[in-house]
Amino acid sequence: MSDPENPAKPATTPRTPLPPLVSATARIASLAAKDLMAEDGSAVDRRLFVDEAVYRLEQERIFAKCWLYLGHDSALPENQSFFTTTMGEDPVIVVRDKTGRLRAFLNSCSHRGAKVCRVDSGTARFFKCPYHAWTFSTEGELIAVPRITAVYGDSLDRSQHGLREVPHVDTFGGMIFASWDPEAPTLRAYLGDMAFYLDLMLSRMDGGTEVIGGVHKWTIGVNWKIPAENFAGDHYHVPSTHGAGVEMGFRSQLTNNGYCIQTGNGHSIGSERGGAQQGTAVPTEYEGFMKQMRSELVAKYGETADAFVPIGVGTIFPNMSFLDSARFRAFRVWHPRGVDRIEVHSWCVVDKALPPELKTAVRRQYSLAFGPGGIFEQDDGDIWQSVQDALRGHIGRQGRFHYRMGLGRETTTSERYGPPFPGSCSDMLMTEANQRAFYRHYATVMADPTS
């Protein structure tokens, strides 16, 4: 977020950027980014999931440029509350400063680089480096240096050594996003047409949404793009990968009666018509709430709105995904931890106005299905890791993955469903149109860092 007195100027003193360290291998990967996949996204080279040079370039071209989801603003309930997370592999502190303004800082002391905050969340008036005790305010300013006069005399200008601030922080419907890129478009422009569908998910009751139960974290041995493209709209895997869950009644049998919508910038959603039906064991009171919510949306957007709520699964490029079902909502981030490893952060999301007993019921359904021990989560994690394992060898990394399902069956969403529904749409649920859109945007961003 920019300084409110001067929107073009970051709140902390800007530093002169160092020239990028780009290896010869990374330059080759950059030049070949579009050559490693079909122009329409229908075939993707396996090396994109195992090549270290490609992965390092992703940190520069994607995670240091795109808007990234950090967390929900309900996790920062008061001034000087904070949580820690990462943007790509860069650790950051997300804080509501003493005036209530949202900020994000690189979690690294400007003196010698140690993390100045080593807990997940809390409240603090300052952040103190454990190495040499340099101390920073929640505004990122260097406010204390031990024995400063004795060891530095008057040579240390504290105003030049604050925490490095993320230049852009913004919110949408309670979701906190940030971008390291000083020239980044606005968050609203980056979300584009996805904002319309996020609004369907986040603005169903007065007061908006909140996360409950904190954040679940676990690791999986897989490249970050595999789960991101899965949540972008891979419904084809549900009958086979999640067959046991269907038989146990955790969700209904999947049909091909649905949609996959690409909203631009690599973002997409997909669902069965009438919403993702995650089983039938929904409390009667919650069923009533859903019925009322649908009727309000139909009154606002027309009869078609009933087909789009809950909105199903989706991915906001590059690595934030969500699941909005008839039983719960879940947000997750696939944090890269190397070319073949991720740390998953997952939250249960509810409407603030929902009665406490229904929040408890929703949280229970989330935990059973998509918490770290959830039946569907276990299915996915096992398969994703097996994909990565099969790519490790010299032969396994040769060839391409194929995404040709439903090719050529896309049209505008408004043509198929009528206004005001934006984006491009396929006329069936089991298609790989959303994955193709994801990889087309990926190729564009990787080949041109200004995209």
Domains of the chain in start order, with CATH, are: 68-170 (2.102.10.10), 192-447 (3.90.380.10)
Residue 414, phi-psi category: left (phi > 0), alpha (psi -120 to 50), beta (remainder): alpha
Task: Let me know if 150 is exposed, middle or buried by CB neighbors in 10 A (0-12, 13-18, 19+).
Answer: exposed
Per-residue pLDDT for the chain (451 aa), expressed as one digit of tens each?
Answer: 444 334 344 444 444 444 444 444 455 455 455 678 898 999 999 999 999 999 999 999 999 999 999 999 999 999 999 999 999 999 999 999 999 999 999 999 999 999 999 999 999 999 999 999 999 999 999 999 999 999 999 999 999 999 999 999 999 999 999 999 999 999 999 999 999 999 988 988 888 999 999 999 999 999 999 999 999 988 878 878 776 666 666 666 667 778 899 999 999 999 877 655 545 555 666 777 777 777 877 887 777 777 777 788 999 999 999 999 867 889 999 999 999 999 999 999 999 988 898 899 889 888 888 888 888 888 889 999 999 999 999 999 999 999 999 998 989 999 988 888 999 998 788 999 999 999 999 999 998 756 5
What's the sign of the alpha-carbon dihedral 316, 172, 210, 84? positive
Q: What is the pLDDT of residue 124?
A: 97
- pTM over 0.75, yes/no: yes
pLDDT tens per residue, range 232-289? 988 878 878 776 666 666 666 667 778 899 999 999 999 877 655 545 555 666 777 7
Q: What is the pLDDT of residue 256?
A: 73
